[in-house]
């Protein structure tokens, strides 16, 4: 299983010379089996755009799983040409909280955006997911509710053959039980940690996690490796790198590829 980090920033994309090493695009992971094109995308922030070249004009046929419907996790959907393609077939899964098309349309419709989701080309199927196991092609995905803020939110555990990883980008540190269920004995835990413990009050206000808690959870879950993501847009590359080094973890960078 191959995991490509296409977007690693949280909240809003950033640009400029201070963000070139870590990257400025928002959340998106592309998952593929071996050397194939990705058929499973986790979140669809602006980072989804960086995948277009790999398809070389071919349509996307697969699944986009959104952890939740905040802007930074879905704003790239209409800017991914392989999916906006006459021959594309796209399943968009999101935590159940009403009709999935109607919920997504609140974010993607006039006056906020010129078209609605049905304005995209290809065949699109919008699915409301409940907590539990789901199969998407060759991947088995366990979805679990986590406490974030401002709408139902999932963390995911993805399994293919003997490899597994957990993806929990947006969740309060108080989600120990859910994170442990998703992350126990995985090869990799990808955890959103835009804050440090000294910023706990602000982390709780926005429903996010801290690096210290991510390290603790990875150890408790016996995860093979921890990568922190969803970096705060206010932190320049040097600050993200310094935090990662201080806590002995890997900071996700745009374009990073992990083979499991």
* pLDDT score of 161: 95
Give every strand in the sheet of 123-129, ordered side by side: 123-129, 89-95, 61-65, 40-42, 28-32, 2-7, 257-259
Q: Higher pLDDT residue, 107 or 166? A: 166
pLDDT tens figures, 67-76: 999 999 999 9
* pLDDT score of 35: 83
pLDDT tens figures, 223-256: 999 999 999 999 999 999 999 999 999 999 999 9
Q: What are phi and psi of 216, to 5 degrees?
A: -60, -45
- Annotated domain spans of the chain: 2-259
Whether this model's pTM surpasses 0.85: yes
> What is the per-residue burial (b if ≥16 Cβ within 10 Å, else e) of 216-252?
ebbeebebeebbbbbbbbebbbeebeebbeebebbbb
Per-residue pLDDT, averaged over 20-27, amounts to: 98
* pLDDT score of 236: 98
Strand partners, 136: 139
pLDDT-derived band at 19, boundaries 50, 70, 90: very high
Q: Which residues contact 194 (CB under 8 A, 6 or more apart)?
A: 10, 11, 203, 208, 209, 230, 231, 232, 235
* pLDDT score of 34: 81
pLDDT at 93 over 90: yes
Q: For residues 239 and 65, what is the distance between their CA atoms, to the nearest angstrom? A: 30
* pLDDT score of 79: 97
User: Residue 180 has which token pair?
Assistant: 């442990």
pLDDT tens figures, 134-151: 999 999 999 999 999 999
pLDDT-derived band at 100, boundaries 50, 70, 90: very high
pLDDT-derived band at 129, boundaries 50, 70, 90: very high
pLDDT tens figures, 180-236: 999 999 999 999 999 999 999 999 999 999 999 999 999 999 999 999 999 999 999
Q: For residues 87 and 139, what is the distance between their CA atoms, to the nearest angstrom? A: 22
pLDDT at 4 over 90: yes
User: Residue 142 has which token pair?
Assistant: 């366990």
| SS3 category, 55 | helix
Q: Specify the CATH superfamily of domain 2-259.
A: Ribonuclease Z/Hydroxyacylglutathione hydrolase-like (3.60.15.10)
Contact in structure between 165 and 179 (CB atoms under 8 Å): no
């Amino acid at each position: 299983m191959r995991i490509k980090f296409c977007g690693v920033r949280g909240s809003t994309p950033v640009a400029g010379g201070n963000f070139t090493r870590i990257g400025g695009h928002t959340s998106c992971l592309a998952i593929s089996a071996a050397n194939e094109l990705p058929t499973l995308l986790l979140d669809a922030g602006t980072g989804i755009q960086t995948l277009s070249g790999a398809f070389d004009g071919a349509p996307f046929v697969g699944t986009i799983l959104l952890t939740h419907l905040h802007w930074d996790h879905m704003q790239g959907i209409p800017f991914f040409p392989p999916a906006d393609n006459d021959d594309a077939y796209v399943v968009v899964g999101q935590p159940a909280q009403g009709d999935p098309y109607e919920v997504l349309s609140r974010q993607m419709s006039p006056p906020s955006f010129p078209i609605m989701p049905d304005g995209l080309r290809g065949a699109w199927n919008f699915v409301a997911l409940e907590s539990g196991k789901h199969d998407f092609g060759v991947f088995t995905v366990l979805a679990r509710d986590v406490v974030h803020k401002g709408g139902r939110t999932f963390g995911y555990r993805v399994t293919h053959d003997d490899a597994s990883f957990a993806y929990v980008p947006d969740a309060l540190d108080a989600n120990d039980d859910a994170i442990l269920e998703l992350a126990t004995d995985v090869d990799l835990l990808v955890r959103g940690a835009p804050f440090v413990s000294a910023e706990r009050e602000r982390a709780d206000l926005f429903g996010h996690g801290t690096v210290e808690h991510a390290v603790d959870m990875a150890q408790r879950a016996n995860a093979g490796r921890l990568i922190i993501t969803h970096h705060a847009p206010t932190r320049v590359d040097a600050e993200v790198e310094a935090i990662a080094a201080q806590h002995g973890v890997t900071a996700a960078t745009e374009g990073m590829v992990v083979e499991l």
